[in-house]
Amino acid sequence: MMQQRNRTTAPRPDGQQQTPPSPRMSARRWITLIGLVILFNFVFYYLQLGTTSTTPQTTLSYSAFVTQVQRHNIKNATISGTDASGNFRKPYKTGGKSYTRYTTTIVSDVISTLVPYLQKEGVDVTLQNNTTPIWLSLLGLLLQALPLLFLFGLFYFGARSTMQQQQGIFGFGQSRAKLYTEERPTTTFADVAGVDAAKAELREIVDFLREPEKYHRLGARIPKGVLLVGPPGTGKTLLARAIAGEARVAFFSISATEFVEMFVGVGASRVRDLFDRARAASPSIIFVDELDAIGGSRGRRGPVGGGGNDEREQTLNQLLVSMDGFEPTEAVIVLAATNRPDVLDPALLRPGRFDRQVTVDPPDRAGREAILAIHTRDIPLGPDVDLAAIARATPGMSGADLANLANEAALAAARKGETRVTRANFDEALDRITLGLEGAPLMNEDERRTVAYHEAGHAMVAYLMPGVDPVNRITITPRGRSLGVTQFLPTDERRNYRRDYLLSRMAVGLGGRASEEVVFDDITSGAQNDLQQVTNIARTMVTQLGMADELGPVYLGGAGDDALGGSSYNPWEPKEYSDETAHRIDAAVARLVDEAHRQALEGLRANRPALDAVAEALVHDESLDRDRFVAIARANGAQPLGGSPAREDTAPQQMATPVTPA
């Protein structure tokens, strides 16, 4: 693969995490509430003033009122019960102030004689009934009490918010596991495909949860814990949910990372709370995803990490104790998933805790076809879509990869406004997933020619070397970070690799660099990824597969190397071989790489006309399919090294995938 340089990839953002409110936010909230109370009372006060007269008035004694009547200074009087009010003819001055209105209280016995007297003195008299409707009285009381009710409501909701904040601060010990009850939509084994062996192993768990008495009657004890082990995307979480759906029991799901917080003891408290909830809902299932986050071997972090007071170790200790606390008749089963079983603490894996380990491998060809059938059952497919051919073209893909492939094909069809998903949509989706987005064509002729010879070198070495997967397509159209790509279509499922096959793969990987040396007598930086892949294959052959003559059948991969999890480097672990052995390993790796490089150079020099013809065709057309590539190679006298290329006459399939892009 010709690698493109000077491309940076933006880091993906982490998942959102809810944080407790800060003290500054709480203080700001209380200041806002107090401000609202003051504002409401201020507005209510002015509304009250608006309902009464704003004219200055004074309260007169009865004798002063009579005196003002005699002086003809009372203009009118409104009498309601024993209360009287009205206006002065001239401003009434008392205490250094002037008033234009008055109020006074009249004894009820003199009202009958007072009214004729006021009329005689020229006072306009108005009599009012002093009875007030009940609803009006209640409304008045409500208006008077409204500020207090508003203030009480604000303090109530403020106190409730404070309690919730305190629960968020002091409730760290509560489990954050999600509970899926049987009333919710469930997943069953019918929704899981490609892992038939794991499904068969787990059906016993379902049978126990449905009929525990059948096992208890014979004294049998169901496994307390089942560990699902497999690469990412193979369906471990889906299997756990399918078990809960089949058994129709409560399903508690949590990630192991949610147990641990910055406060010491929080993780252990959450473990206790989770197991208490599961026992209360028995029969139930506890599913812990990414168990290796808390289940790593204790004391492996060296002198600066680990120890008895480490938060993760306390959480692990509590998990071990909680699993031991299960009664034999309790119908609570712990399921856990990990892709790093090599780092788990041995105490977790002993009988009585995680009794069983179920390996969930990537699906084979039949399994991939079944998975595609599940993920495309709601997608309208075109008549040219062959799921068997797609499954054949996607070796090594997990269930998650196949689900993404089906979705990307549907998106491609939707972008083009099509009514059905066709084979071309799946081709586009597969290229998009494995190679990246298609970029702009190369405009520099020198660069186009360099990339064309680089990719032609990969293809020609693959054509010449025996036992290598056949070439399916060659292109110099940039995709993702690659300036060009050579795709290979495996002829069958490979689970065991011969030494000759790995050596041939290395030669194919170095075909691009060898082509540059043969044609331009120079090299470019485009072979960076090729060199990385070839070196990794050579080091694996030497250290893990015992395929180097210098060292013999010795495993030197390290205790942390695992086929599922990869290499887990721990600087505190001692080396498992000496410095002299390390030098021998480096020498063996260099020898294997040099041998592959020499084979690629010899093959291309012996078939230079075919190399030139393929490169010129790529410069002109930018892409070659398998039929045309093979025709060009044969027409220019390409001679395979050591025999005929593997299955070169196999007809090209409908789909092609760059299992090992070169």
Active site members? 455
Rounded CA-CA distance 412/427 in Å is 10
List Cα–Cα distances, 585 to 183, 546, 555, in angstroms. 59, 11, 11
Q: 447 Cβ partners below 8 Å, 6+ apart?
A: 483
Q: Give the angle subtended at the CA of 405 by the CAs of 404 and 407, to the nearest 5°.
A: 65
- CA proximity to 176, closest of 237, 240, 254: 254
Asked if the peptide bond before residue 283 counts as cis, ω within 30 degrees of 0, the response is: yes
Radius of gyration of the chain (CA): 43
Beta strands in 177-326 (DSSP E): 178-180, 225-229, 250-255, 284-289
SS3 state of residue 379: coil
Tokens of 318: 């509590």
SS3 state of residue 554: coil
Amino acid occupying residue 85: S
- Could you please report the per-residue DSSP string of 423-460? HHHHHHHHHHHHH--B-PPP--HHHHHHHHHHHHHHHH
- Could you please report the per-residue DSSP string of 564-583? TTEE---TTSPPSS-HHHHH
Count CB-CB contacts under 10 A for residue 134. 7
- Helical residues (DSSP H) of 171-220, grouped into ranges: 196-210, 212-216
Spell 255-273 as b/e; 16+ CB within 10 A means b: bbebbbeeeeebbbbbbbb
Count CB-CB contacts under 10 A for residue 280. 10
Rounded CA-CA distance 319/312 in Å is 11
- Diameter over CA atoms, the chain: 142
List Cα–Cα distances, 301 to 304, 305, 315, 338, 559, in angstroms. 7, 5, 16, 19, 15
Q: 125 Cβ partners below 8 Å, 6+ apart?
A: 76, 77, 79, 115, 118, 119
Secondary element (H or E) of residue 587: helix 579-606
Spatial contact of 352 and 187, defined as CB atoms under 8 Å apart: no
| Nearest-10 Cα torsion for 404, 395, 238, 569 | -100
Spatial contact of 169 and 262, defined as CB atoms under 8 Å apart: no
Spatial contact of 21 and 162, defined as CB atoms under 8 Å apart: no
- φ and ψ at residue 246, rounded to 5 degrees: -70, -40
Rounded CA-CA distance 401/392 in Å is 14
Count CB-CB contacts under 10 A for residue 509. 29
- CA proximity to 633, closest of 477, 462, 430: 462
Spatial contact of 506 and 534, defined as CB atoms under 8 Å apart: yes
